[in-house]
A and B are shown apart, each in its own frame.
Chain A
Amino acid sequence: MNYFEFFSMIPEISLLAVFVVIFIFDLVATGRYRRIFHALVCLLMLGHIYVCIESGDKEVTLFGGMYYSNSMIAFVKAMLVFGSSLVVLQAHRWLRSTHALAKQGEFYVLLLSTLIGMFFMLSARHFLLFFIGMELASLPLACLVAFDKYRHHSAEAGIKYVLTSMFASAIMLYGISFLYGTIGTLYFEDMAQGLSGTTMQIFALVMFFAGLGFKISLVPFHLWTADSYQGAPTVVTAYLSVISKGAAVFTLFVILTKVFAPMTAQWQMMIYAVTVASITIANLFAIKQNNMKRFMAFSSISQAGYIMLAVISGTAQGMSAMVFYILVYIMANMAVFGIIETLQHNVEGGELTREHCNGLYKTNPQLTLLMTLALFSLGGIPPFAGFFSKFFVFMSAFDAGFLVLVFIALINTVISLYYYLLIVKAMYITPNDNPIAKVKCDMYTRISLCACLLGIVLLGICSFVYIGIDNFAF
């Protein structure tokens, strides 16, 4: 074995380096050095985006084909790091609160280890490496969900997450063992030849899919989502809803098109059913939600359904549509969560509901505007980025021949607009005598919100972003 191959895994190795630096800094730094801790982490992560993109020039295949990277994967990694940096930026105020301050370093370290896990998921070309990556991405997340462990909801969310996660992993591992049993290899490349669509392999496909379906929170594997999202600290919820989901979707796409290529008819049918169920059921629930984080949980399930429209096509066009969708989704969702995080400090009990948003326009016009734009983007109103991302996703499914599915998704878009606009209406129109007082964002949150704003407004209009992504696909 050539140990120098480790150094070719540039994004992973450098992320590990960041991890180690932060870990050691946390151990040794005291007093006034701790004050720059947050800034240091942010800078390191932003720097790491550059490293990821730089590494994307060439294709890398390592360890006898277990590890693979190309420019698209490098871009997705950079995107995830970017999203995580937004999460970290928004976490500043929460981390300064007394009960989290002592664990500040832990937060970064746990977050980065999940990120490394996701990197391995993305680059894995062997089911074992993939599984290890997935577990590495799941377990520290459970700790993050339960980070405010003395808060009842957080602990409950953590335990629900960890139990469901284990359940999903077990089923997935069971499915992978079926695959190994019928084919005799775990390398992605070799497996495609051995698949023929026997009953055993269909079970394997469904079980494997259930494991990732849990991470993406697709119906019927989604039930943990609402409880965990509501209970987890808001920044962790944001992380769960965009980063963790984005990595899982990309991996799912790769494995379905690479490994399960001979069973395309089967998995397309499976995803068809799951997509319709996810979008529809999530919309039905979202309408009834009053708690903002719970509401966003259902919104994220329905958004995951829309991403599945790109996955189902299985084409290069679908891949670029998917990556673009994730990018736009990161922007819009991070904006919403950033605002929720900012506002909920001023709410009694720390749980933001729709009623709290009533008349927000009068006290916080800027936040309200950003929230409106983000919700418009999530709902897919032109000319915001969300419109374009939805358009590309629909296009890819349409070109692959799923006309009815696109039609169902379009109807659901109308329903989703209803509940997104409910919030906009609450903020602008519903009268309220004492809306939430004027909130002052800290500098870090402000930076991240500005980045989100730029993304929402510009990503769609600046066509070169999508065209650039399109050049990487496959």
Chain B
Amino acid sequence: MDFTILILALPLLSFLILGLAGMKMPHKWAGAIGTLSLTLVTILSYCAAALYFGAGRNAEGIFAPITPYNHTWLPLGGTLSIDMGILIDPISVMMLIVISTVSLMVHIYSLGYMKGERGFQRYYAFLSLFTFSMLGLVVATNIFQMYVFWELVGVSSYLLIGFYYTKPAAIAASKKAFIVTRFADLFFLIGILLYGYYTETFSFTPGETLLMSAGAVLPIALALMFVGGAGKSAMFPLHIWLPDAMEGPTPVSALIHAATMVVAGVYLVARMFPLFIDYAPEVLHIVAYVGAFTSLYAAIVACVQTDIKRVLAFSTISQIAFMMVALGVCTSSNPHYGGLGYMASMFHLFTHAMFKGLLFLGAGAIIHAVHSNEKSQMGGLRKYMPVTHLTFLVACLAIAGIPPFSGFFSKDEILAACYDYSPMMGVFMSIVAAMTAFYMFRLYYLIFWGKSHYEEQLSLYSAGKSTHKPHKPHEAPLCMTAPLVILATITTVAGFIPFGNFISSNGEAYHIHINPAVATVSILLALAGIALATVMYIRGNSKLTTAINKALGIFIEAAYNRFYMDELWLFVTKKIIFNCISRPIAWFDRHVIDATMDMMATITQKCGNIVRPMQSGNVQSYSVWFLSGALLLALMLIFFT
């Protein structure tokens, strides 16, 4: 498996090339370099997966983790050291596949989407940087390496959200994303340091004795790490950055804010799962409750948004929360009894990455065609964009949980795990799943069905009531539709992958079986959601819709404004923190620290003038200083020691 180093080296290399020399290249070359390196990475990732899983299980019946590289970067004394290396185990291999596949699709798609954009080379350089960091994150051999790449991922996300740096909204969004996730990362770092200090290692799997010595601190450390994960994975109340992050180019949203980076938090919890389950099961249940609440909250908000990317953003939050819930409801590491959620979570991560990437790329194609994010500008697009329409429908069916699309299988496992944990949780999550079906089909109908905005405008124009000739929506070019088709194919068939065979909570093979009761309920609920959406939105806003809107007036208004979470955060930060903490500190800084510094500067200047004559340029006086200095030193030593 020595070649795995190339999986990291190639994107880094392409980042360096594009970053240093990109601006001197024509757009085509830059795109070609980025895409080519990613193609190689994808091939290598698939090879790694084939070799790893092909090698079979070891004597204990699990896929043994292997570390082709592990280099001690900073020895910190004792057993504690910061290592850099590559860890290959079932979940990291799965993540390699997910990241490289979606990233490659995004690279190809962007050739069309970003064509002629200013800073095209910069865009590809950042994409490479992001891919490098994300791959580094998943193959990390220890928690500290993970943290290093975790921050790199944050930086590249910041750079990509703020890609249109002349647009104030994009700048604000990139700053918001960076600050909110950094805020969460602070807890992550504290968690890591506590963990390292008490277990005397940064490894994911410390020995029993080391863990014993950590004792009661371990749950706290793990809980703090989860806060970091919650920040990156946009769990309530740290979710506020993700909807704004949609200001970045749409393919970036597909890659970072749907398929890869935002699941880093889930991956983190999965990575630390053996510790969570053995030493901090109560923290794991907190994870479940946070996840459950987030999924409901995000689903409600998603039902009323009008910007299609925002709907997708909230749907992402909700779906990631599903994965968190699945991890949180685990009560043991035995997949047959209480540990099903782990496998379900990873399975959903995999399928979600594919269909959510597909949804975002489809949304990108639509935005590309109508030049707007607002649903009011769309409608009736199915005639104009057949490929996008079909692939989008596949993704919607998958996320709604309709068999045989992949989302059904993974979501069904999650729901089964929830029912195992407690019937309450199961019912709760089933309702959220039904809401998912509703809002996704609301989105679908408003985009592709109903009255065509273009035709309305055209009739206005031809009737002479409008001077502006509307732009006819057109299907996206091949390099954009091809990734859509590929991802749609994966979405259609991925459900039949015997996922439990590769990944399960304790490594042993687990044969996925559909629980007929759960499956029936979830399909019925999903169909109900779709039916409601159909009734309400197939012809645009119907009378029923207006009536419902009226009845729920205030509630919908609140949901549209995301229950004023952003305002609440602003109130806390701007009013409370600024006035009560920052202002006094600023005063102290200005009047005490600065004054001290000014005083030091003045004293320095004065002293400078005093010692100036020493440097007279006269060799005789130099000798005098030399000798008297030596004598003074000697006298000092004689009298003071």
Interface residues of A, Cβ cutoff 8 Å to B: 159-160, 163-164, 167-168, 171, 197, 199, 202-203, 205-207, 209-210, 214, 219-221, 223-224, 226-227, 265-266, 269-270, 273-274, 281, 283-285, 287-288, 411, 415, 463, 467
| Contact A288–B608 (Cβ < 8 Å) | yes
Given contacts A284-B608, A285-B615, contact A168 B626 (CB under 8 A): yes
Closest A residue to B617 by beta carbon equals: A227
| Contact A164–B623 (Cβ < 8 Å) | yes
A-facing mask of B625-641, CB < 8 A → 1, else 0?
Answer: 11111100110111011
Partner of B614, one of A223, A288, A411: A223
Given contacts A164-B623, A220-B625, A226-B615, contact A265 B641 (CB under 8 A): yes
| Contact A223–B626 (Cβ < 8 Å) | yes
Q: Which residues of B contact A284 (CB under 8 A)?
A: 604, 607-608, 611
Q: Which residues of A contact B619 (CB under 8 A)?
A: 159-160, 163-164, 224
Closest B residue to A205 by beta carbon equals: B637
With an 8 A cutoff between CB atoms, is B463 at the interface? no
Given contacts A223-B626, A287-B608, contact A202 B615 (CB under 8 A): no
Q: Which residues of A contact B633 (CB under 8 A)?
A: 206, 209, 270, 273-274
Partner of A210, one of B74, B622, B630, B641: B630
Closest Cβ of chain A: how far from B128's Cβ, in Å? 20
Closest Cβ of chain B: how far from A65's Cβ, in Å? 29
Closest Cβ of chain A: how far from B73's Cβ, in Å? 5
With an 8 A cutoff between CB atoms, is B75 at the interface? yes
Distance A463 CA – B614 CA, assembled complex (angstroms): 42
Q: Which residues of A contact B625 (CB under 8 A)?
A: 220, 223
Closest Cβ of chain B: how far from A72's Cβ, in Å? 19
Q: Which residues of B contact A207 (CB under 8 A)?
A: 630, 634
Q: Which residues of A contact B614 (CB under 8 A)?
A: 223, 281
| Contact B604–A223 (Cβ < 8 Å) | no
Q: Which residues of B contact A285 (CB under 8 A)?
A: 608, 611, 615
Q: Which residues of B contact A224 (CB under 8 A)?
A: 619, 622
Q: Which residues of A contact B636 (CB under 8 A)?
A: 269-270, 273
Q: Which residues of A contact B74 (CB under 8 A)?
A: 463
Distance A205 CA – B633 CA, assembled complex (angstroms): 10
| Contact B630–A167 (Cβ < 8 Å) | no
Closest B residue to A210 by beta carbon equals: B630
Q: Which residues of A contact B629 (CB under 8 A)?
A: 210, 219-221
Distance A159 CA – B619 CA, assembled complex (angstroms): 9
Q: Which residues of B contact A274 (CB under 8 A)?
A: 633
5 contacts between A and B (CB under 8 A): A197-B641, A273-B636, A284-B608, A284-B611, A287-B604
Q: Which residues of A contact B73 (CB under 8 A)?
A: 463
Given contacts A284-B604, A285-B615, contact A210 B637 (CB under 8 A): no
Partner of B611, one of A171, A209, A281: A281
Distance A411 CA – B622 CA, assembled complex (angstroms): 28
Closest A residue to B597 by beta carbon equals: A414
Q: Which residues of B contact A205 (CB under 8 A)?
A: 637
Q: Which residues of A contact B638 (CB under 8 A)?
A: 199, 202
| Contact B608–A202 (Cβ < 8 Å) | no
Closest Cβ of chain A: how far from B31's Cβ, in Å? 27
Q: Which residues of A contact B611 (CB under 8 A)?
A: 281, 284-285
Partner of A203, one of B600, B634, B640, B641: B634
Given contacts A223-B614, A284-B607, A288-B608, contact A269 B640 (CB under 8 A): yes
Q: Which residues of A contact B615 (CB under 8 A)?
A: 223, 226, 285
A-facing mask of B60-84, CB < 8 A → 1, else 0?
Answer: 0000000000001111000000000
